[in-house]
Amino acid sequence: MGIQHVPADRVEWDLAAAQLDNIALANRGGSWAAWKDAVLRWHMKAVANARAEAWIPGMAGAQQDPVVEEALGRFYRHHMRVTIGHLKAENLELRRKLIAAVSCARFYASGASDAGECAHVTLAELDPHAVGADVKSRQGRQDRPNRVGVLTLP
């Protein structure tokens, strides 16, 4: 964030000076720490008020410029479409992984035994970076028919 210079209105200057005079009078004879705390509280309140009154695109309500409103609408619609697309793709991938995991569980629940090959293949499908996800597990996947009768995605 760069340095911003805003022209000071003389009335605002006088108001700030009067408020500081009141703080000085209220803390006359007190310690430096008490004076500093009072000025910091006053300053932070003024900053919070300025931020609350600042115009932020998309937050100003009905008095917003129609061109800015249209640009923001397009911007938000674009990002919403992109986000929804990512969420749909992620949802499909999660469903595919769930089907693979359930398929493996059903394989073992049926009483079948393959020395853990189905589990290793399924784990390799779920997490390609897992230890043991090599060519052998991929060959085992190709040799084994799909247990749930659903097309297996590569």
CB proximity list for 95: less than 8 A, separation 6 or greater: none
For residue range 50-78, list pLDDT tens digits in order.
777 766 655 555 566 788 778 888 988 99
**Which position has the token pair 């995991």?**
101
What's the whole-number average pLDDT of the chain?
Answer: 76
Q: What's the whole-model pTM score?
A: 0.41
For residue range 107-145, list pLDDT tens digits in order.
888 988 888 888 888 888 888 776 554 545 445 555 555
Mean of pLDDT values over 89-117 = 89
With contact defined as beta carbons under 8 Å apart, do 74 and 59 qualify? no
Residue from 26, 46, 43 nearest 35 by CA: 26
